[in-house]
Structure 1
Amino acid sequence: MKALVINCTLKPSPAPSNTQALADVVIAELGQRGVEVETVRAVDLNLLPGVETDMGPGDDWPAVHAKLLESEILVIATPTWVGHPSSVAQRVIERMDAMIAETDDEGRPVAYNRVAGVVNTGNEDGAHHVISEICGALIDIGFTIPGQAWTYWHLGPGAGPDYLDDQRGHDWSDKTGRAMAANLVSVAAALAAEPIGTPPE
């Protein structure tokens, strides 16, 4: 089984990413369960604006799209900014919009029989809103969202320290992240055994 984690931090590599640090908890648990995990830091790529799979010369999205189709599990990891997913996360979701019209050899949307979840960090409240926005979009695209397929960390409301700077709350966030990984693997395995069928005409 393969998983793709798209880190939607605003910080280019090699800057430390709080979002990556929490995602790494999920990644470690996925690895313990035999999942091969690849991480993409979207801000390092040239993801052109648009809602097509390939927006032309210089567009790095087609390679990410290919990785999506090679994976049974997708994790979108994003910080909270002004109460919303990062602008990079929004760009990623917009580029995934094209997948709604893409089908496999059996006529199913290509996101069918794939699972997804969300990792969120921030130093202000709004985690449930961010998670809901991203999960709603992923459901529209065709992904299956297992129960409790998310984890988050914040010390809101208001400004405060970052995940990497403060150990408060890590026990809960990390435990929830490990549960998230377990749920993603379980539902991905169930879908592999009993796939969602071709949509009716």
Structure 2
Amino acid sequence: MRAVVLNCTLKKSPEPSNTEKLAGPVAAGLRDKGVAAESFRVVDYNVPPGVETDLGDGDQWPQLHKALLAAEILVIASPTWLGRPSSVAQRVLERMDAMLSETDEQDKPVAYNRVAGVVVTGNEDGAHHVISEISGALNDIGYTIPGQAWTYWNMGPGPGPSYSDTEHGHQWSYKTAATMADNLFAVASALQANPI
């Protein structure tokens, strides 16, 4: 089984990413179950706006799309900005819109029999809103969203330090990350045994 993490931070490599740090325990939990987990920082790729899988010359979304189709598990990781998903996460979902009309060998939508979850970081509130927006879009595309297929971290109301600047709340975030990995793996395994 394979998993892909799409890190939708606004920070290009090698700048440290708080979102990547919280997505790490989810990927580690999946690897503990024998899943091959791979992470991509979307801003390191040229992904122009659009709703097609391949926009032609210079478009690197097809590389990420290929990784999605090779994986049974997808994790979209996004920071919270103004209580909403990052612009990078929104662009990913817009590009994934093309998958609505793509079918597999059995003429079923390509996202069927795949599961997805969400990781959110930010020193402001809004994580549940971000989880809802991303999960709803992925469900529309055809992904199955298991119960509690998310983890998040924030500092609570008002400005404050970033995830990597404090240990505040990390234990809870790690616990929910472990549950997220368990639930993603369990449902992905069930779909392998009994496909939609």
Q: TM-score range by the shorter chain?
A: over 0.9
* Partner in structure 2 of residue 169 of structure 1: 169
3-state SS of 2:63 partner: helix
| Per-residue deviation, 1:127 | 0.4
| Per-residue deviation, 1:96 | 0.2
**Between Structure 1 and Structure 2, how many residues are aligned?**
196
Which runs of no fewer than 5 residues in structure 1 stay unpaired? 197-201
* Partner in structure 2 of residue 199 of structure 1: none
| Per-residue deviation, 1:48 | 1.2
* Partner in structure 2 of residue 123 of structure 1: 123
Distance in 2 of aligned mates of 1:117 and 1:158: 27
Percent identical: 67
Q: Deviations over 1:14-35 (max 9, x none)?
A: 0000000000010111110100
Q: What is the TM-score with the length of structure 1 in the denominator? A: 0.97
Which runs of no fewer than 5 residues in structure 2 stay unpaired? none
2:91 is the counterpart of 1:105: no
* Partner in structure 2 of residue 138 of structure 1: 138
Matches of residues 41-190 of structure 1 in structure 2 within 5 Å? 41-190=41-190
* Partner in structure 2 of residue 23 of structure 1: 23
| Per-residue deviation, 1:187 | 0.2
Distance in 2 of aligned mates of 1:158 and 1:97: 34
3-state SS of 1:43 partner: helix
Q: What is the TM-score with the length of structure 2 in the denominator? A: 0.99
Which consecutive aligned stretches of 4+ in structure 1 deviate over 4 angstroms post-superposition? none
3-state SS of 1:119 partner: strand
Distance in 2 of aligned mates of 1:165 and 1:181: 25
| Per-residue deviation, 1:159 | 1.0
Distance in 2 of aligned mates of 1:160 and 1:56: 42
| Per-residue deviation, 1:156 | 1.8
Partner amino acid, structure 2, of 1:163: Y
RMSD, aligned CA: 0.4
